[in-house]
Structure 1
Amino acid sequence: MLQLTAFTCLAGLHTGCAAVVSPPLLDMQLVDRDSGASLAQYASRGRRYSPGMPGSRYAIRLSNRSGERVLVVLSVDGVNAITGDTAGFNQSGYVLSPGESYDITGWRKSDERIAAFEFTSLGDSYAARSGRPANVGVIGAAVFREVYVPPPVVYEPPPVSSAEPAAPSMLSRLNGGAADVSAQAAPARESAAGRVEAERAARAKLGTGHGASEWSPIAHTGFQRRTSQPEQLVEIHYDSHANLMAAGIMPRPMAQLPRSFPNSSGGYVPDPPPRW
């Protein structure tokens, strides 16, 4: 089960932020929830773009590529996807286990439910409706590594003779204790009809709406960040097919040219259908 964590950071640690990490800690993709297909990504001017369809539900697929736990603070349209606050690095996020991949399907409403992510018009987006339209159209993931805590040194006493009763080892005393679980609060397709429709579509910038309530349970966990700034920052910009094609980011579909022999079947010329 996916886990959430509240902000935990050690003071006095490194403050440098590396936008690109090699190899990356996290991979992020947008997924169409109806078809299950990952949305294509197009590179332009150092950014990544994915096209969305108004009205369709989508998920944000987070994949931990490292061999350790990572914390991901997730921003959608400049809003923290867990708390609803204007997004910042020092906020609650999702904790992924080594190698784990998980789909974030909506705005976190409680430990059990979310409001589905769905592509909608800018004016109907959650960010715009809550008075924060400036960053609509971009999804960001700030990735943090965990402070390494070395395992405790276990002292094993020398073996005793059979004549003496064996004392319990330090290991058995440690294993006999109850586990201390730290839980923290969270987490148009462009029309070929003409220039007028294309311009109208270009004005309809996409955002992310506050969709239907869905069941999506999570657990809580503790997490100490190794740094106060993210070690990787991943961003995906998104918009409609029409807007991305108009901006030259997506290739336009090739027009179907007339063919001299579209059908090579034989026979004679039939009469045309009657006029109405």
Structure 2
Amino acid sequence: MFNRKTPLALTAAIAALLICGTAQAGALVDINVIDHSRSGTLPEYRRHGETWVEGTPGHVYSLQLVNHSNRRVLVVLSVDGVNVITGDRASYGQSGYVLEPYQTTEIDGWRKSMQHSAQFYFTSVPDSYAGRTGRPENVGVIGAAVFTERYQPPMPVYRPAMAESRAAPPAPQADRASTSANAEVQRIGTGHGETQYSAVSRTQFVRASNRPNEIVSLRYDDRARLVALGILPRRHVTRQLSPQPFPGFVPDPPR
């Protein structure tokens, strides 16, 4: 069992970011997936009560966390069922990141030390960190267990101006009959990429409860599987016509 004091609570030393984009909505905390290879927030699609994003193999990404509340919160963050700070199989009582009231920040990789992290990037399931460490069964899901603080000292709170966010686009209609066995198999996971400078600091945080106040989850896979699931439409390929020996009359040449 764990007590209410977090084993390790980290606060990101990165300045709060105000980025337009869709968010996986939570009452307390939202999650965005930022694709740094594409320089943008990945759009999200709903299917059977789950939210999906399309990941592209080889692309580096980070997770943007948005605290909508006027209090500090602890976010225990997991990728592919693995705690992004400790590398252990994720559970509620583990280490997490502390967000200040109304703070927005990015978590850019697996925590290696107080100064460095290893980049998140989309890759094949066998090459994913979970796959390489013998834990591939939860590949393809990002989760945040959010805890409020037991005691919040009285202090004035000033809410920063937030960039307007767009609503998540509805999932396009696709041919349901074309769903194949690809829909049943997770195709990509999250790799353990290059080490980069990413400083954090320690802080004290006492949870109001042993159970999270909110759990936010987001699923991802590559385009092929999202098409097979009917979440994304199939691309229409324009047929290349064969050259015709008698296509018509002779036009004037360019002047």
TM-score (norm: length of structure 2): 0.72
C-alpha deviation, 1:33, in angstroms: 1.1
Deviation digits for residues 75-99 of structure 1, max 9, x if unmatched? 0000000000000000000000011
Whether contact under 8 Å (1:202, 1:242) holds in the other structure is: no
Query: In the alignment, which residue of structure 2 is the partner of 1:181?
Result: none
CA–CA distance in structure 2, aligned partners of residues 254 and 68 of structure 1: 49
Aligned residues: 202
**Aligned pairs for 1:4-153 within 5 A:** 6-7=6-7, 24-149=27-152
C-alpha separation in 2, matches of 1:69 and 1:212 = 31
Alignment-mate amino acid for residue 138 of structure 2:
N
Q: Determine the C-alpha separation between the residues in 2 that align with 1:269 and 1:112.
A: 69
Q: What is the aligned partner in structure 1 of residue 251 from structure 2? A: 268
Contact 2:26 2:216 in 1 (8 A): no
Superposition misfits of 4+ residues, deviation over 3 angstroms: 5-8, 198-204, 253-258
Measured after TM superposition, the shift of residue 35 of structure 1 is 3.1
1:36 CA displacement: 2.6
CA gap 1:149/1:37 in 2 versus in 1, 3 angstroms: closer
Q: Is the aligned partner of 1:236 residue 2:239?
A: no
Take 1:210 and 1:66, find their aligned partners in 2: how far apart are those partners?
Answer: 32
Structure 1 residue 202, shift from structure 2 partner: 8.5
2: CA distance, partners of 1:150 / 1:108: 29
Alpha-carbon separation, structure 1, partners of 2:64 and 2:200: 16
Query: Secondary structure at 1:124's aligned position in 2?
Result: coil
Q: Which has the larger radius of gyration?
A: 1
SS in 2 for 1:144: strand
Q: Could you give the per-residue CA deviations for residues 69-123 of structure 1, whole angstroms, max 9, x where no partner exists?
A: 0000000000000000000000000000011111111000000000000000000
Q: Give the Cα–Cα distance (whole angstroms) in 2 for the partners of residues 204 and 75 of structure 1.
A: 17
Higher share in strand: 2
Tell me the residue number matched to 2:193. 211
The answer (yes or no) to whether the contact 1:25–1:64 under 8 Å persists in 2 is yes
Conservation of the 8 A alpha-carbon contact between 1:146 and 1:223: yes
Check if 1:222 corresponds to 2:225.
Answer: no
CA RMSD of aligned residues (A): 2.8
| Partners of 2:183 and 2:229 within 8 A in 1 | no
Question: What letter corresponds to residue 122 of structure 2 in structure 1?
Answer: F
Aligned sequence identity (%): 46
2:31 maps to amino acid: M
* 5+ long unaligned stretches in structure 2: 9-24, 155-179, 241-249
**What residue ranges of structure 1 are gaps of 5+ in the alignment?**
9-21, 152-197, 259-266, 271-276
- Hey, what's the Cα distance between the residues in 1 that align with 2:146 and 2:236? 40
In 1: Cα distance, 2:152 partner to 2:106 partner: 29
Structure 1 distance, partners of 2:149, 2:182, is: 47
Tell me the secondary structure at the aligned position of residue 123 of structure 1: coil
Separation in 2 of the partners of 1:246 and 1:200? 6
**TM-score w.r.t. length of structure 1:** 0.67
